[in-house]
Amino acid sequence: MLHLGDENVSLCSGIRRRSFLQAGAAGMAGLTLPNLLQLETRGAVDQSKAKIRNCITIFLVGSPGHLDTWDMKPEAPEDIRGGFKPVNTNVPGIDICEHFPQMAKMMDKVALIRSLHHKTGASHENGQRWMMSGHDFTQDSMQPYMGSVVSRVFGPKSNLPSAVILPDKIGNTGTATPHGQEAAYLGSGHQPFFLGGDPSRADFKVANLQPPDGQTEFRINARRNILKELDTLQRRAETNTTIQRDTAYSRAFNLLTSPETKMAFDLTDEPDKLRDRYGRSTFGQSCLMARRIIERGSRFVTVNHFDTVFNIACWDMHADGGGLNNTHKDYEYLLCPQFDQAFTALVEDLEQRGLLEETVIAVLSEFGRTPKLNPRGGRDHYPSAWTNFLCGANIKGGQAIGSTDRIGAAPHDRPILPPQIVASIYHAMGIDLETTMMPGPGGRPIRLIEAEPIMELF
């Protein structure tokens, strides 16, 4: 549920601004169009050239083992290579796991980055912060999520929020530290919209688009008029902050009441065969919804494959016999096929609609997994080496950038750090990292990211 700051203003009608905003997705709004115009004036964003302004990130919460997926080592000893076999792809010289057969047929579109690593700890949250923001930080020094930055740079292009996270925010993955999916100092106007529901459920409704109990559309419109009157009074003491709030309120009303918005989040008018193609699972239908809302005007969508790593089948393959009991079986029967189905459906679908060339797809995770199998046959956290990948837009597919050593323990050549991935995504979206600044803490202008893009990608 989104909140816009801590406003808690009672109105004579009894509704509070805060409760209204809890019902709507107000937080994603803001004074973004004027910001965009300012940026254009400075030459940072050239709308005529920046064709690519969409991005879908798929975040594989828990993190796949690189040796079991996209950086296999068939020549390594058995307790390192594991039980899966590599298969050829449609790019000579690039093999991937046998359990991604559909992806193997479109490797010419994908750029693997096989030398990712970081050095700041092996918790899930470390990796989430790195890969979602390009920074590591604490609760006291929060850094913005990529989608919030993109929202700040480009502004909205429809009633839909610029940045959306599906199906829900990351929850408990071990420690009570940030996950990197917040707007931070960019403010509530650029907070991502969390869907807060499961699109694979037959009774699915977007939690943040439902009015509070007892509030009909008519009553919401009546309250909008009351707010308008109140705001007229407030304008006498108008500041930039109140202008931002007004815009946020206005967009929240639009989001709550616009049929166009509700339609964007409604999968029931997609053909059954297409829904089947994505896979009738939470993840598959979230990927389909990502395409749908990008098509209707959102700019940056993240699909979290999971929101936790505990007591569910997910990528966090410790095989511990308890609450983290994922094994190769979960990979083979469920996780790899589910990813293979949804990811390839998304690429195909975007391509058929002419959207792939203007949409970057980035498949990201927190870290790799230990090269040596643990005594239970699982693999544990390993931030010293892993593989993520990009495709779509202007990304040059059919290549593997960087490599690891013979057992996948460390980058062998072209070591790459998470901020370079984030810089590459911004660059792919047409943002000039040299000239584009954003207001940092205290309003001080700062660069979006202190890293250079990986130029081999383009």
Partner 1 sequence: MDQVFEGTPTAEIQLDGHRVTRGHVSNDWGSKLQWVVRRDGKDVATVPARMEATFEHDDKTAGKYEIVLQHFKYVNYRKDAKGDYTESRFIDISNVVSYTI
Q: How far is the CB of 105 from partner 1 (least distance, A)?
A: 8
Q: Which is nearer to partner 1, 205 or 412 (CB)?
A: 205
Q: Which is nearer to partner 1, 20 or 278 (CB)?
A: 278
Q: How far is the CB of 353 from partner 1 (least distance, A)?
A: 21
Q: How far is the CB of 274 from partner 1 (least distance, A)?
A: 11
Judged by CB under 8 A, the stretch of 66-74, 185-193, 223-231, 324-332 that binds partner 1 is 324-332
Q: Structure tokens of 403?
A: 């490599």
Among the listed residues 215, 327, 394, 399, the single contact to partner 1 using CB under 8 A: 327
Among positions 223-282, residues that touch partner 1 (CB under 8 A) are: 272-273, 276-282
**Cα 133–135–137 angle (5° rounding)?**
110
Q: How many chain residues bind partner 1 (CB under 8 A)?
A: 42
234-242 own/partner pairs: CB under 8 Å, 24+ apart: 240/31
Is 313 a residue that touches partner 1 (CB under 8 A)? yes
Closest CA to 303 of 316, 284, 317: 284
First-residue to last-residue Cα distance in the chain: 38
Is 124 a residue that touches partner 1 (CB under 8 A)? no
Written as one letter, the residue type at 329 is K
Q: Which residue's structure tokens are 């707010």?
A: 227
Among the listed residues 266, 332, 351, 405, the single contact to partner 1 using CB under 8 A: 332
Buried b (16+ CB within 10 A) or exposed e, 132-163: bbbbbeeeeebbbbbbbbbbbbbbbbbbbbbb
- Given the DSSP bridges, would you call strands 95-97 and 86-88 parallel, antiparallel or unpaired? antiparallel
Judged by CB under 8 A, the stretch of 27-35, 63-71, 120-128, 305-313 that binds partner 1 is 305-313
Is 316 a residue that touches partner 1 (CB under 8 A)? no
Q: Which residue's structure tokens are 């869907």?
A: 195
H or E stretch covering 111: strand 110-116
Q: How far is the CB of 200 from partner 1 (least distance, A)?
A: 5
Is 284 a residue that touches partner 1 (CB under 8 A)? yes
Q: Which is nearer to partner 1, 307 or 380 (CB)?
A: 307
Is 417 a residue that touches partner 1 (CB under 8 A)? no
Is 341 a residue that touches partner 1 (CB under 8 A)? yes
Q: How far is CA 309 from CA 12, 155, 164, 323, in A?
A: 46, 33, 22, 8
Among positions 140-169, residues that touch partner 1 (CB under 8 A) are: 167-168
Distance, in Å, from the CA atom of 38 to the CA atom of 377, rounded to the nearest integer, reads 56
- Residue 288, sorted as left (phi over 0), alpha (psi -120 to 50) or beta, turns out to be alpha
Closest CA to 160 of 78, 54, 285: 54
Is 62 a residue that touches partner 1 (CB under 8 A)? no
Among the listed residues 88, 311, 352, 435, the single contact to partner 1 using CB under 8 A: 311
Q: Which is nearer to partner 1, 168 or 231 (CB)?
A: 168
Judged by CB under 8 A, the stretch of 123-131, 196-204, 258-266, 422-430 that binds partner 1 is 196-204
Q: Coil, helix or strand for 245?
A: helix
Among positions 363-382, residues that touch partner 1 (CB under 8 A) are: 377
Residues that bind partner 1 (CB under 8 A): 101-102, 167-168, 171, 198, 200-202, 272-273, 276-285, 306-308, 311-313, 319, 325-327, 329-330, 332-334, 337-338, 340-342, 377
